[in-house]
Amino acid sequence: DQQVKQNSPSLSVQEGRISILNCDYTNSMFDYFLWYKKYPAEGPTFLISISSIKDKNEDGRFTVFLNKSAKHLSLHIVPSQPGDSAVYFCAAILYNNNDMRFGAGTRLTVKP
């Protein structure tokens, strides 16, 4: 039962341009969403999150947008840098629940 889906396995963008990573979910009870970044041979690291009561959260070059009616969230990276090349996981959680559901990930490649 895959409740969090990332339908694009990979994305390639040019340095300096915008990267947009997408995520869809099916469970309307999720009320907290996160993005993690994973480099090879390392564990995932937290990037940015958003509560279901908001529709946007910004942290430097990273912005997450939430569309609850469409059950869709996206991560925007502007401007993209080669060091952003990694696998990005979308995750969803019932707040204060310990079962976090992850998408399958999108591999982002930023070309110099």
Q: Does 11 bind another protein (CB under 8 A)?
A: no
> Whole-angstrom Cα distance, residue 88 to residue 24?
14
Q: Does 49 bind another protein (CB under 8 A)?
A: yes
- The one-letter amino acid code at 36 reads Y
Do 46 and 38 contact (CB within 8 A), yes or no? no
Q: Does 23 bind another protein (CB under 8 A)?
A: no
Smallest Cα–Cα separation from 33: which of 21, 15, 48? 48
Q: Does 91 bind another protein (CB under 8 A)?
A: yes
By three-state DSSP, how is residue 55 classified?
Answer: coil
Q: Does 69 bind another protein (CB under 8 A)?
A: no
- Stretch touching another protein by CB under 8 A, among 13-21, 63-71, 75-83, 94-102: 94-102
Q: Name the residues that contact another protein, by CB under 8 A.
A: 4, 6, 9, 32, 34, 36, 41-46, 49, 89, 91, 93, 95-105
